[in-house]
Amino acid sequence: MALKPKYSRFVAAGLFAALLGGAVPAGADEYNISLATSLTGNLAPFGVPQVNGIRLAVEELNARKFLGEHTLTVSVQDDANDRGQVVTLLNTAAADPKTMIHAGLIWGPTVVSLAPLLNDLKIPLFYVSQTSEPLGLSEWFFKMTTSPDKSLATLANYAVEKAKIKKLAVVYMRDAENMVASTKIFRDNMQAHGVEIVSDESVLASDTNFSALATKIAATNPDSIWLGTFGAQAANIVVQLKRAGVREDVKIFPVAGPNNEYLEAGGSAVNDTFFYGDFNAQTDQPMVAEFVKNYRAKYGDVPNSWAAIGYTEGLLAAQAIKQSMPNPTREKVRAAMAAMKDVPTVLGNGPWSVDEKRVPVYVQSILVVKDKKFETAP
Amino acid sequence: MFAQQLLNGVTTGAVYALFALGFTIVFGTQRILNLAHGAVFMAGAFIGYFATQKGLTFVPAVLLAMAGSAVLACLVDLVAFRGLRASGQLEFGAIISSIGVALMITSVGQGVSGTRVLVYPFDFVPNLFFSVLGLRISLLQIITLASVAAILAVVVFLIYRTSLGRQIRAVAGNPRAATLLGVSPGAVYLIVFAISGALAGYAGVLIGLLFNTVHFMMGDPYLLKAFVVVVLGGLGSVYGAVVAGFLLGILQAFAIAYFSGSLADIIFYSLVFLILIIRPGGLFGNAASTVKVGRA
């Protein structure tokens, strides 16, 4: 069916306008970061702020044309902490030529199991869990946070040399490998320094009732308590410990990052608890303050360490892609990430680098809670 | 430590009993496993939390949570079960449909909370502690024990001493015969769901207060415990649910106190296993008998 001349002119004009509107400047490309993390299920409290963080980073980087004429995108998928879904999403990311880096993965055993597939797909993968084991299994693995032995050595030294602890009660989450690993490092470190372990207990991530546990610990009369659990749960345990009669001057060392949710869930009970600091939303560092301000404006909430991790993933991925210009490939991006040095991020107390084993290195400080604020510990 | 752990166990067990009672009366009257009960419990905790954010004090916030959860439970009945009941496909279909409704309610909870853990204001119930015969007991524990005892007494009175209770038991025994006697099974089911929801809602508020955590996934572990409690107590048995609820709380506390947290579940489930070998129908039930809201 032929169109009348006057209509065909409209159609032609419309097509021309559509082509102009959808045109991309010559040489301008899109580079994608795929993020597969838990948006539903029991790990959603970690995955959701991570997504918020990376989206904010990508938005800011594009606004200031970090990649020049090129655009950075982020595609987000829910892995529901399901290993099959994780594999599917990794395959999907690898099949997309625009995707330069795959990010996400909170659960250590899942990360380890992906090594053979990753060696086959050859796509850089940023994971979040604490274990460094995957780094030795595939050169395509990259880790976001520093290894627990580095972080915990800082905290252990503080506990022994400054806090002068002698009798330690240990509580850790037994269904999270990173918490089991962190607790082992801290416990071994304390025993090596002659600290007596008066109680050694474990909980599950889904547990909320710690009344019996708290009564038991209070009866052992420790002078310090190690909490190898995540933020809000750690605060909840502290509250129940204090209700059970644990002395106010007992020094508490949670492995959880110094998050706002810890302060909200713990109230005044969490005063005088000590952390090593991956992220402190209350610091006056300009980059962190700017991140907190923008995150609040966009999401109406104070970012926690998972949001900071997501944001840093975005920054580091963009940095690696930029250093691989022109014509970045996954091999070039991988090489850039393996050589990453002194990149300003919101994690830690200084720039982010990787060492020769690709373990992240950044300065951490010991923080203490005082009246709903994190301060540098004395 | 023994007496203190007993108090911990009794307090926790009181809430388990409250939660499990709601679960078992639905099963007792209708022979369905309402797997959305945990989600209703979570919703009760959320309603209570947001009521506190609006400045409501303890009693109005609790009443609102119970009323909201009762309405939600009625909606669960209307959406998930009524159609299946009419088609005669209730027994197994109800499991799937209640899982679906539970997921919907949980997703709403996730959206509303932004996946964050919510905490009731610390001064919502004054943080007072009393020393009684060497026991350290909080005002919240006293309120929990007293209110749960009162509610359990009201529910038992309602079921065994009122006209409504007779209707509930009549429908539980034989819905057709009850209809012939002028009882409307549909209305009775709705009332039972409302009672079940109100109990779950209050249990949610108490758990949120006692254990300082309100979370969109909080219903799942309690649903599993309620299931164990009603099996242990005897399916559909009101007294069984109450006794088994307390038993679970006390056993858990002692297992943690005298063994280890990691062994608590193993010890508890081993005991449940042994009890069920000796009494397959549970402490107050008989697996072969017709399930009903009965005394034993």
What domains are defined for chain A?
30-146+285-361 (3.40.50.2300), 149-277 (3.40.50.2300)
DSSP 3-state percent helix, strand, coil across chain B (nearest 5)? 75, 5, 20
Name the more confident of A320 and A110: A320
Q: How far A264 CA lies from chain B's nearest CA (Å)?
A: 7
What confidence tens digit (pLDDT) does each residue in B27-77 have?
989 888 899 999 999 999 999 999 999 999 999 999 999 999 999 999 999
User: Is B212–A239 a contact, with Cβ atoms under 8 angstroms apart?
Assistant: yes
- Is residue B61 in some structural domain? yes
pLDDT at B265: 82
Between CA B60 and CA B209 the distance in angstroms is 15
Q: How far B171 CA lies from chain A's nearest CA (Å)?
A: 37
- From the number of C-beta atoms within 10 Å of its C-beta (0-12, 13-18, 19+), residue A208 rates as buried
pLDDT grade, residue A51 (50/70/90)? very high
pLDDT at A40: 83
pLDDT at A125: 94
- The pair of structure tokens assigned to B18 is 């409250």
The pTM (predicted TM-score) of the whole model is 0.76
3-state SS, residue A104? strand
Give residue B217's domain range: 2-223
Whether A26 shows a pLDDT value over 60: the answer reads no
Question: Would you mind telling me the total number of residues written for chain A in this entry?
Answer: 378
| Amino acid at residue number B211 | F
Percent of chain A scoring above 90 in pLDDT = 55
* A202 in B contact zone (CB under 8 Å): yes
Distances (CA, A) of B156 to A170, B1, B93, B150: 44, 33, 30, 10
* A79 in B contact zone (CB under 8 Å): no
pLDDT at A5: 56
- Is residue B263 in some structural domain? no
Between CA A153 and CA B226 the distance in angstroms is 43
Between CA B31 and CA B85 the distance in angstroms is 11
What confidence tens digit (pLDDT) does each residue in B276-295 have?
898 888 888 754 444 455 44
pLDDT at B74: 97
pLDDT grade, residue A155 (50/70/90)? confident
Chain A partners within 8 Å of B261 (Cβ): 201-203, 213
As a whole number, mean pLDDT of residues B155-162 equals 93
Q: How far A230 CA lies from chain B's nearest CA (Å)?
A: 11
As a whole number, mean pLDDT of residues A109-115 equals 85
Between CA A35 and CA A37 the distance in angstroms is 6
Chain B partners within 8 Å of A246 (Cβ): none
Which residue in B has a C-alpha nearest to residue A241's C-alpha?
Answer: B211
Whether A18 shows a pLDDT value over 70: the answer reads no
Between CA B157 and CA B53 the distance in angstroms is 34
In the block, residue with structure tokens 């005088």: A272
Rg (CA), chain A: 24
Which of these ranges, A101-105, A215-219, A373-377, B21-25, has the smallest mean pLDDT? A373-377
Which residue in A has a C-alpha nearest to residue B119's C-alpha?
Answer: A265
8-state DSSP, A206: T
As a whole number, mean pLDDT of residues A15-29 equals 54
pLDDT at A21: 45
Whether B228 shows a pLDDT value over 80: the answer reads yes
What confidence tens digit (pLDDT) does each residue in A197-243 have?
999 999 998 889 999 999 999 999 999 999 999 888 999 999 999 98
* B52 in A contact zone (CB under 8 Å): no
* B162 in A contact zone (CB under 8 Å): no
Q: How many domains does chain B have?
A: 1
Between CA A83 and CA A81 the distance in angstroms is 6
Chain B partners within 8 Å of A211 (Cβ): 8, 11-12, 210-211, 253
As a whole number, mean pLDDT of residues A345-369 equals 87
CB B77 within 8 A of CB B90: no
| Amino acid at residue number B111 | G
pLDDT at A7: 56
Chain B partners within 8 Å of A239 (Cβ): 212
Report A:116-175 residues touching B (Cβ under 8 A): 174
CB B33 within 8 A of CB B98: yes
Name the more confident of B11 and A275: B11
User: Is A174–B262 a contact, with Cβ atoms under 8 angstroms apart?
Assistant: yes
As a whole number, mean pLDDT of residues A335-361 equals 91
User: Is B212–A206 a contact, with Cβ atoms under 8 angstroms apart?
Assistant: no
Q: How far A227 CA lies from chain B's nearest CA (Å)?
A: 14
Task: Round the average pLDDT of chain B to a whole number and report it.
Answer: 90
* B108 in A contact zone (CB under 8 Å): no
Q: How far A5 CA lies from chain B's nearest CA (Å)?
A: 54
As a whole number, mean pLDDT of residues A37-44 equals 81
Between CA B263 and CA B257 the distance in angstroms is 11
pLDDT grade, residue A11 (50/70/90)? low
Q: What ipTM score was computed for the predicted complex, to two decimals?
A: 0.85
pLDDT at A310: 94
pLDDT at A346: 93
B129 phi and psi, to 5 degrees?
-125, 145
pLDDT grade, residue B21 (50/70/90)? very high
Q: How far A162 CA lies from chain B's nearest CA (Å)?
A: 31
B43 phi and psi, to 5 degrees?
-60, -40
* B286 in A contact zone (CB under 8 Å): no
pLDDT at A24: 47
pLDDT at B62: 97
What confidence tens digit (pLDDT) does each residue in A285-321 have?
899 999 999 999 999 988 988 899 999 999 999 999 9
3-state SS, residue A34? strand
pLDDT at A176: 82
Percent of chain B scoring above 70 in pLDDT = 96
Strand order in the sheet with A196-203: A196-203, A167-173, A224-228, A251-254
- Is residue B184 in some structural domain? yes
As a whole number, mean pLDDT of residues B248-271 equals 87
As a whole number, mean pLDDT of residues A46-53 equals 91
User: Is A208–B211 a contact, with Cβ atoms under 8 angstroms apart?
Assistant: yes
User: Is B261–A215 a contact, with Cβ atoms under 8 angstroms apart?
Assistant: no
- Is residue B249 in some structural domain? no
8-state DSSP, A160: I
Whether A60 shows a pLDDT value over 90: the answer reads yes
- How many other C-beta atoms lie within 10 A of the C-beta of residue A113? 15
- Is residue B268 in some structural domain? no
Percent of chain A scoring above 70 in pLDDT = 92
Q: How far B135 CA lies from chain A's nearest CA (Å)?
A: 11
Task: Round the average pLDDT of chain A to a whole number and report it.
Answer: 87
Chain A partners within 8 Å of B218 (Cβ): 208
User: Is A208–B257 a contact, with Cβ atoms under 8 angstroms apart?
Assistant: no
User: Is A265–B211 a contact, with Cβ atoms under 8 angstroms apart?
Assistant: no
- Is residue B245 in some structural domain? no
pLDDT at B262: 81
CB B42 within 8 A of CB B175: no
Whether A101 shows a pLDDT value over 60: the answer reads yes
User: Is A210–B12 a contact, with Cβ atoms under 8 angstroms apart?
Assistant: no
pLDDT at A46: 82
Angle subtended by helix axes B238-258 and B219-233, to nearest 10: 120
CB A167 within 8 A of CB A146: no
- Is residue B243 in some structural domain? no
* B250 in A contact zone (CB under 8 Å): no
8-state DSSP, A273: B
User: Is A268–B122 a contact, with Cβ atoms under 8 angstroms apart?
Assistant: yes
* A320 in B contact zone (CB under 8 Å): no
* Cα three-residue angle A222-A225-A228, rounded to 5 degrees: 150
- Is residue B281 in some structural domain? no
- The pair of structure tokens assigned to A2 is 């032929």
Cα atoms in the 13 Å half-sphere on the side-chain side of A361: 11
